[in-house]
């Protein structure tokens, strides 16, 4: 048995929504945990429709996360592939690797079905870098140990350039760099924040379009801290639109038809670690973000 504990931050949310947020699973998976009696609210079992209050203590029995991931037939678009590595276009909503409360249905499960076996950590085989579940776009996956070692070294040496597209609230300057250490929030242990004791983090951006209530940015992270782009943009006063964790309550997301953060890993540029061939890969915005951007432009 593995129990995750969390403190509720938002009064009025349904219990299944609060559980989904606390352990990073889909709402349907959270509902199954609640229905199975695996969730206690301040010591009591409640129905999924129960409205939580800020300060409630959640105890969530997510089962045994130790089992190795199994292959699953989950379609994932592949943008590039050779004998050493592949680059996928991860859809929004697809979790990268198994975790407590989410033992299956992940990108890793899909990759194991495609490749048979992958190098690296048993819990997240082949994964060179991650994207948040709600973020879409390009990810590099190593197919053998040599490629994995070289790619992770290149990532640490900042030899892999990553470009994101983000729609943010407000009107940021035409270009800038956000330099602030990122670490665990002292107030909310499930969140990251700019904190003095955090790890070095730098994020550069340039404004592509200035709209009425939002701006479209091209973002280039120089480091790879957890939630770095979302944390830095929020700290600068321009949170990613529809970011329920780091953004503020806003009607923008509903007005644009968004149910996930407008953040997309649009480009990758690096030298192939085995062949020396330069690789420049791009992935267009998925349909949900294209439609949201069209609505934002229509309001400009």
Residues annotated as catalytic (active site), given as ranges: 132
Structure-block tokens of residue 184: 């665990």
Number of Cβ within a 10 Å radius of residue 155 = 16
Contacts of 206 (CB under 8 A, 6+ apart): 174, 175, 217, 218
> Smallest Cα–Cα separation from 227: which of 134, 94, 109, 106?
134
Give the SS3 label for residue 296: helix
> Smallest Cα–Cα separation from 230: which of 268, 265, 189?
265
Output the CA torsion sign for 1, 38, 13, 42.
negative
Q: What is the 3-state secondary structure (H, E, C) of 221-282?
A: ECCCCCCHHHHHHHHCCCCECCCCCCCCCCCHHHHHCCCCCCEEEEEEEEECCCCCCEEEEE
Under a CB-based contact definition with an 8 Å cutoff, are residues 205 and 172 in contact?
Answer: yes
> Smallest Cα–Cα separation from 269: which of 140, 182, 166?
140
Under a CB-based contact definition with an 8 Å cutoff, are residues 98 and 125 in contact?
Answer: no
The DSSP code for 50 is P
């Amino acid at each position: 048995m593995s129990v995750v504990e969390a403190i509720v931050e938002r009064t009025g949310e349904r219990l299944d929504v609060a559980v989904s947020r606390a352990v990073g699973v889909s709402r349907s998976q959270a509902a199954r945990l609640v229905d199975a009696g695996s969730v206690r609210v301040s010591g009591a079992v409640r129905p999924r429709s129960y409205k939580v209050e800020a300060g409630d203590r959640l105890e969530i029995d997510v089962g045994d996360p130790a089992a190795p991931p199994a292959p699953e037939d989950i379609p994932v678009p592949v943008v590039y592939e050779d004998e050493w590595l592949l680059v996928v276009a991860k859809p929004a909503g697809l979790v990268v690797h198994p975790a407590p409360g989410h033992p299956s249905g992940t990108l890793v499960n899909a990759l194991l079905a495609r490749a048979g076996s992958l190098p690296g950590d048993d819990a997240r085989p082949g994964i060179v870098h991650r994207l948040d579940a709600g973020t879409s776009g390009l990810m590099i996956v190593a197919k053998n140990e040599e490629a994995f070692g070289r790619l992770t070294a290149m990532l640490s040496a900042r030899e892999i350039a990553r470009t994101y597209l983000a729609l943010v609230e407000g009107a940021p300057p035409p270009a800038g760099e956000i330099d602030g250490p990122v670490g665990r929030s002292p107030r909310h242990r499930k969140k990251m924040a700019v904190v003095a004791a955090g790890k070095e983090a730098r994020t550069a951006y340039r404004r592509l379009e200035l709209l009425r209530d939002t701006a479209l940015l091209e973002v280039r992270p120089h480091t790879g801290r957890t939630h770095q782009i979302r944390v830095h943009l929020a700290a600068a006063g321009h949170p990613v639109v529809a970011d329920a964790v780091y953004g503020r309550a806003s009607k923008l997301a509903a007005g644009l038809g968004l149910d996930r953060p407008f953040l997309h890993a649009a480009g990758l540029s690096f030298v192939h670690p085995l062949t020396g061939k330069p690789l420049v890969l791009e992935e267009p915005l998925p349909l949900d973000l294209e439609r949201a951007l069209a609505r934002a432009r229509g309001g400009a």
